[in-house]
């Protein structure tokens, strides 16, 4: 004959009648059970400490009696409670020190040498010692208004990547609508800010709109400094929230009950979606996750609401969402840099100039796919087009006066400076710069400009004109011409004037210099 376990009400009736003094036959007849069944429950109750004349039977004792009578149960349950009562002082001391659960059971075994079932020990602590559980009671919180999305990272497991054969750990971003319980799962290989933004972008496309409020955890990709009332968010995620128009309401640190609906779905998502699957790539897992969210997770009857999440979402929550983004989001990155005496910073292995008027300072760099912006505090000081790694972007306006042409190797500006000293100087500078070695030729132009400043524009222009007539493009020759002309002028200025003749001056007398060959006054 099969064993029939009595209901708790039936067990309580058997024990109540027996405690009032009725015999076994009367108890069995009034309770509607067999006498052997009634005897088993009464004997188990007596082992648990129940005596005749008891005014009531506690629910905890009823549970012990039912467990003792159940097939396969240990008949020593009553003696185990007596054993715990004999060591109640030691157990109470351990409980006061904060010992709970398996640790308390190990201490009892170490001290008494008798193993005690964990559930029996927990009932003893709660019923006999009157110690409540540390977590307290669970408080059901009413559902929020539609439009709140709870977000959490989780680890699904490992998979073998096709092609490489590498064993990879598969993480995921789980998004659960607090009102409808409709959810979206996005597998990823990391738990970084880029992965979170990518997951939310896919979530907006899946839900058909942006949730006005996002309730995430305190991941480092979201919160830079956690605080229950004034958390500080990372610049990258805060910019993303501003771009998409939602507000951030993060949970407290290690307070899973602040986002209970997404936490409740973590185990369900891991077991129902990932367990037993053999994904070969990340793309395959993402495609399967989208189908699972639409069919299995969305079409199931939710255990709490008793409604299908996708139907509740379409009927009551989707209209509360913000419009879905139409374009891809350009994820910016922020970093700290120091501008030194070279008036430049290196961002992602690319060199960018900084205005020299700032001097040496600390800057914040924001870069996206197209631009690099440099901030001094809250002030934007420079914007550059984004350069590839190893590239250079130097703005001549950022360099000190006179340094721009040297830094940028701008020969045209140097030639324009030569025009100020004379047209021949400018032409000669262009001839110097026109060559296969631009850096070497620029040094020649710098030397020519230095000669113009040293000997004057007129003399340099005349020397350049003579050199151009002879097609001699060599700044050293121009320098030699200027130096020789300077020496000649010094020699003439230092020679004494010719003597003035004394006495009678003859009518046809001539100066000896007039008879020099080629003289201006020689007779025709």
Taking 70 as the threshold, does the pLDDT of residue 411 lie above it?
Answer: no
Q: What is the pLDDT of residue 202?
A: 96
**Window from 111-115, 250-254, 322-326, 484-488 with minimum mean pLDDT:** 484-488
> What is the pLDDT averaged over residues 477-499?
71
Band the pLDDT of 349: cuts 50, 70, 90.
very high
Give the strand order in the sheet containing 247-248. Answer: 183-188, 167-177, 148-160, 213-215, 247-248
> What is the pLDDT averaged over residues 352-381?
93
Q: Tens of pLDDT along 62-100?
A: 777 887 777 655 544 467 888 888 888 888 888 887 777
Rounded to 5 degrees, φ, ψ at 343 are: 55, 50
Higher pLDDT pick, 433 / 293:
293
Taking 70 as the threshold, does the pLDDT of residue 365 lie above it?
Answer: yes
> What is the pLDDT averaged over residues 427-437?
77
Q: Are 188 and 173 in contact (CB under 8 A)?
A: yes
Band the pLDDT of 407: cuts 50, 70, 90.
low
Query: Please, where in the chain does CATH 3.30.420.10 lie?
Result: 148-320
| Tokens 């500078």 found at | 429
**Separation CA 393–CA 385 (nearest Å):** 8
> What is the pLDDT averaged over residues 256-273?
88
Q: What is the pLDDT of residue 346?
A: 95
Please identify, in words, the CATH class of the domain defined by 148-320. Answer: alpha beta
**Separation CA 523–CA 376 (nearest Å):** 81
Q: What is the pLDDT of residue 486?
A: 63
Torsion, Cα of 432, 437, 439, 444 (10° steps) = -30
Q: Are 202 and 312 in contact (CB under 8 A)?
A: no
What is the H or E stretch that residue 95 is in?
helix 88-96
Q: What is the pLDDT of residue 1?
A: 46
CA 66 to chain centre: 55
Higher pLDDT pick, 502 / 201:
201
**Window from 395-404, 493-502, 508-517 with minimum mean pLDDT:** 493-502
Q: CB-based contacts of 278: which residues, under 8 Å, 6+ apart? A: 159
Band the pLDDT of 28: cuts 50, 70, 90.
confident
**Other beta carbons less than 10 A from residue 306's beta carbon:** 7
- Total-model pTM: 0.59
Q: Tens of pLDDT along 170-219?
A: 999 999 999 999 999 999 999 999 999 999 999 999 999 999 999 998 88
Taking 60 as the threshold, does the pLDDT of residue 505 lie above it?
Answer: no
Q: CB-based contacts of 168: which residues, under 8 Å, 6+ apart? A: 158, 159, 160, 161, 189
Q: What is the pLDDT of residue 503?
A: 59
């Amino acid at each position: 004959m099969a064993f029939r376990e009595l209901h708790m009400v039936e067990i309580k009736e058997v024990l109540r009648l027996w405690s009032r003094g009725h015999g076994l036959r009367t108890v069995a007849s009034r309770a509607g059970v067999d006498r052997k069944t009634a005897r088993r429950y009464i004997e188990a109750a007596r082992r648990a400490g129940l005596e005749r004349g008891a005014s009531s039977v506690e629910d905890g004792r009823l549970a012990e009696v039912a467990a003792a009578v159940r097939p396969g149960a240990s008949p020593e349950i009553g003696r185990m409670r007596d054993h715990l009562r004999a060591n109640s002082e030691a157990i109470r001391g351990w409980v006061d020190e904060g010992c709970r659960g398996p640790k308390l059971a190990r201490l009892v075994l170490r001290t008494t040498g008798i193993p005690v079932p964990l559930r029996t020990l927990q009932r003893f602590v709660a019923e006999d010692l009157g110690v409540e559980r540390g977590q307290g009671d669970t408080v059901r919180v009413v559902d929020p208004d539609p439009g709140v999305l709870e977000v959490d990272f989780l680890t699904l497991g490992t998979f073998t990547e096709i092609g490489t054969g590498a064993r990879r750990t598969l993480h995921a971003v789980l998004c659960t609508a607090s009102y409808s319980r409709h959810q979206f799962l996005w597998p990823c290989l990391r738990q970084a800010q880029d992965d979170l933004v990518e997951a939310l972008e896919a979530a907006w496309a899946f839900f058909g709109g942006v949730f006005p409020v996002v309730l995430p955890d305190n991941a480092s990709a979201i919160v830079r400094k956690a605080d229950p009332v004034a958390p500080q968010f990372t610049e990258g995620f805060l910019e993303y929230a501003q771009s998409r128009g939602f507000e951030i309401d993060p949970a407290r640190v290690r307070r899973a009950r602040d986002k209970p609906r997404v936490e409740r779905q973590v185990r369900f998502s891991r077991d129902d979606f990932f367990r037993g699957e053999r994904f070969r790539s990340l793309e395959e897992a993402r495609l399967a996750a989208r189908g699972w969210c639409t069919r299995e997770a969305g079409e199931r009857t939710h255990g709490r609401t008793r409604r299908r999440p996708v139907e509740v979402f379409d009927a009551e929550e989707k209209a509360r969402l913000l419009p879905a983004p139409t374009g891809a989001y350009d994820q910016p990155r922020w970093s700290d840099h120091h501008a030194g005496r070279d008036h430049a910073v290196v961002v992602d292995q690319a060199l960018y100039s900084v205005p020299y008027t700032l001097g040496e300072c600390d800057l914040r760099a924001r870069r996206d796919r197209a631009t690099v912006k440099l901030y001094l505090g809250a002030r934007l000081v420079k914007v550059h087009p984004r350069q590839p790694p190893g590239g250079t972007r130097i703005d001549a306006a950022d360099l000190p006066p006179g340094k721009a042409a040297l830094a940028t190797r701008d020969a045209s500006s140097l030639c324009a400076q030569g025009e100020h000293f004379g047209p021949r100087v400018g032409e000669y500078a262009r001839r110097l710069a026109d060559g296969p070695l631009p850096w070497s030729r620029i040094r020649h132009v710098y030397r020519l400009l230095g000669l113009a400043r040293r000997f004057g524009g007129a003399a340099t222009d005349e020397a350049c004109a003579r050199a151009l007539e002879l097609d001699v493009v060599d700044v050293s020759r121009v320098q030699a011409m200027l130096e020789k002309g300077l020496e000649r002028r010094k020699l003439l200025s230092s020679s004494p004037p010719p003597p003035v003749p004394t006495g009678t001056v003859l009518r046809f007398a001539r100066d000896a210099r007039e008879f020099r060959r080629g003289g201006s006054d020689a007779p025709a």
